[in-house]
């Protein structure tokens, strides 16, 4: 179901992700049912909804993180920056360069902080030396981790950071590749309030020149950080619009029930 309530008007930023009639299956199990959504450039969209409703499936389908799951298949149409990520001849490396992702559980590589971040720019852009050092430092600064690690980031293993620092390291690693679109699946769920505030601040800063899709179970967070909100339930996109509308006067009873904490 798609409803026009709060839907974007002609004055809004261009559509960068255009999904039409997307259904996703894991073998017999249908995880997404005919999702259509237009995601606007340089804005934050939060995905909310009860556990198991398909939020992670939606995100992971966009940058083909589900490809290796046996029985995974899709129907419908996806366009990201005008291209079908499932089209013949899709360059996966280019897709991942354009669409970065951060997961719920921080997953640093077992190597130094510096190496964690340097890997991406080296692989995607072939940079090295001073240029690479600068890219690493810039990403650490953007992820608000620089001050905490600047003395030992070339020696310290990424796994020896705290959970909140590891998540910011993973954000820095993703930023260093300079994606235009950023997918975040519950990026703050393992973080304390201070680290959460840092990540929220970062999301707001990135929104100026990135398109962000952020899954969260924290409704206050969704309201704080997002321009748009998409409410999923049982694999359907029930309602999608301006966050003020979704949280203030949604069209659907189920949205109303969810955002007012009556279920989920």
Ligand X SMILES: Nc1ncnc2c1ncn2[C@@H]1O[C@H](COP(=O)(O)OP(=O)(O)OP(=O)(O)O)[C@@H](O)[C@H]1O
Q: Tabulate helix, strand, coil % of the chain (nearest 5).
A: 35, 25, 40
Interacting partner of 199 out of Mg ion, ligand X, none (Cβ under 5 to 8 A depending on kind) = none
Q: In the bound complex, what is the minimum distance in angstroms from residue 233's beta carbon to ligand X? A: 9
68 binds, among Mg ion, ligand X, none (CB under 5 to 8 A by kind): none
Interaction residues for Mg ion, span 52-71 (CB under 5 A)? 56
Task: Return the SS3 of 254.
Answer: helix
Number of amino acids touching Mg ion (CB under 5 A): 1
Closer to ligand X at the Cβ: 136 or 212? 212
Q: By three-state DSSP, how is residue 93 classified?
A: helix
Give CA–CA dist 111/93, Å, rounded: 22
Q: Is the dihedral of CA 250, 256, 261, 264 positive or negative?
A: negative
What are the tokens at 100?
A: 């970065």
In the complex, minimum distance from the CB of residue 185 to Mg ion, in angstroms, rounded to a whole number: 6
Pick between residue 56 and residue 66 the one whose CB is nearest to Mg ion: 56
Nearest distance in Å: CB 220, ligand X: 17
Which residues form the interface with ligand X (CB under 6 A)? 26, 29, 31, 49, 51-57, 69
Indicate which of Mg ion, ligand X, none lies near residue 130 (CB less than 5 to 8 Å, by partner kind).
none
Least distance CB 10 / ligand X (angstroms): 32
Query: Per-residue b/e over 200-236, b at no fewer than 16 CB within 10 Å?
Result: bebbeebbeebbbbbbbebbebbbbbbbbbbbbbebb
Residue 238 contact, options Mg ion, ligand X, none, Cβ 5-8 Å cut-off depending on partner type: none
Instruction: Supply the minimum distance, in Å, between the C-beta of residue 258 and ligand X.
Output: 12
Q: How far apart are CA 78 and CA 21, in angstroms?
A: 9
């Amino acid at each position: 179901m798609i409803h026009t309530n709060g839907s974007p008007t002609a004055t809004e930023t261009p559509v960068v992700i255009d999904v039409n009639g997307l259904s996703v299956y894991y073998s017999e199990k249908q995880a997404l049912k005919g999702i259509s959504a237009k995601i606007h450039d340089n804005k934050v969209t939060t995905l909310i909804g009860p556990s198991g409703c398909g939020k992670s499936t939606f995100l992971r389908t966009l940058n083909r993180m589900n490809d290796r799951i046996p029985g995974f298949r899709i129907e419908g149409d996806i366009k990201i920056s005008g291209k079908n990520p499932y089209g013949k001849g899709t360059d996966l490396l280019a897709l991942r360069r354009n669409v970065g992702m951060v997961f719920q559980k921080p997953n640093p590589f077992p190597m130094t902080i510096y190496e964690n971040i340097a890997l991406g720019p080296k692989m995607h852009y072939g940079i090295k030396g001073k240029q690479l050092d600068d890219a690493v430092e810039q990403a650490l600064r953007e992820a608000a981790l620089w001050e905490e690690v600047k003395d030992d980031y070339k020696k310290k293993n990424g796994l020896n950071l705290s959970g909140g620092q590891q998540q910011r390291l993973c954000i820095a690693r993703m930023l260093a590749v300079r994606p235009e679109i950023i997918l975040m699946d519950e990026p703050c769920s393992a973080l304390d309030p201070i680290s959460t505030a840092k990540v929220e601040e970062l999301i707001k800063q990135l929104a100026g020149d990135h398109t962000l899709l952020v899954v969260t179970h924290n409704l206050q967070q969704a309201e704080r950080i997002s321009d748009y909100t998409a409410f999923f339930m049982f694999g359907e996109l029930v309602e999608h619009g301006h966050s003020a509308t979704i949280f203030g006067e949604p069209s659907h009873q189920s949205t109303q029930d969810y955002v007012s904490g009556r279920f989920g």
